[in-house]
Amino acid sequence: MITGGQTANNLVFNYQNASATAPTITSIDPISANPAMKGKMTVSGINFGSDVSKIKAYLSNSTVSKIYQLQVLTVQSSLIELGLPGGLAGQYFLEMSHTDLGNFGVVAGASVQFSYELSISSISPSSGSYYGGTLLTINGVNFVNDLTITQVYIGFSLNWNCKIESISSTLIKCRTPNISSEYTPGTPVDVVVTSRLII
Q: What are the chain's domains?
A: 24-116 (2.60.40.10), 119-195 (2.60.40.10)
CA dist 123 and 171 (Å) reads 10
> φ, ψ for residue 89 (rounded to 5)?
-60, 140
Output 197 or 56, whichever has higher pLDDT: 56
Burial class of residue 80, CB neighbours in 10 A (0-12, 13-18, 19+): buried
Are β-strands 32-33 and 113-116 bridged in parallel, bridged antiparallel, or unpaired?
Answer: parallel
Chain segment 128-138, per-residue pLDDT in tens? 999 999 999 99
Report whether pLDDT(17) > 90: no
pTM surpassing 0.85?
no
CA dist 139 and 173 (Å) reads 9
